[in-house]
Amino acid sequence: MLDENLPTFYIKPSSDNPLSSTIYLSQNGAELQPEYTLRHPDPKLPASKNVYAVALYDSYNPEVLYAEVLVSPEWTQPTLSAAEVRAQNGIPPPPVPIVPQTFTIQLYNPDQQVIVRQIPGTWNSSAHWEFELPQNSFRVPSVSALDRSQSDPTISDVTPKINFKWKRDGKLSKDITCVLAGKSTDGRKHKEPDITVAMFKGGKNLTIY
């Protein structure tokens, strides 16, 4: 059992809206408090067809949008043999969706795009998702007009980046763990160990270390 003093978010579906879920926060053994709201678009709308979308809003001010994701698959026409074409009576098969290997999380205030990439597994490692964030997201307050004219750290190429990975705990497990990727200290031979920063259990509880 995880330490109840750690901040943990609990995702609970809304009882009156199947397209919405409330994210509650508990820390130091305190009672659950609503923090965010997850909203999915109405699947009956034309714009929602064949896409996955979700948005994160403030729980108390439903007009405040923090982040959103939109994933649209690519489509390909399967190649059939002559025998398969005859079996289909010459009717072309429906196109097959291809799940993209990357998707983008759009963050707001400050605006920032986080690209999440899927890294295929190898013989000695499992597949995982990785992304990077700037070490600094907000501009340091300054009275200098020159400082205020500089680009925000989130879009500056010189801002140091921090790499993260989401890894599944096992092939049959629904639990995934987010780690801060260790940096190489001597080429590829020596590497700092990964540091666990969060655990997402069963798609319901997210604990931050």
Give pLDDT, residue 10.
95
Write the single-letter amino acid at 46: P
Give pLDDT, residue 177.
94
Give pLDDT, residue 71.
92
What pLDDT, in 10s, does the model give residues 38-88?
A: 999 998 998 888 889 999 999 999 899 999 999 988 888 878 777 777 777
pLDDT greater than 70 at residue 186: no
Give pLDDT, residue 135.
83
Instruction: Grade residue 8 by pLDDT with cuts at 50, 70 and 90.
Output: very high
DSSP-derived 3-state class of residue 147 = helix
pLDDT greater than 80 at residue 123: no
pLDDT greater than 60 at residue 201: yes
Give residue 121's Cα distance to chain centre. 19
Average pLDDT of every residue of the chain = 86
Give the least confident one: 38-47, 96-105, 187-196: 187-196
The CA distance from 149 to 49, in Å, is: 42
The CA distance from 48 to 178, in Å, is: 29
13 Cβ partners below 8 Å, 6+ apart?
A: 20, 21
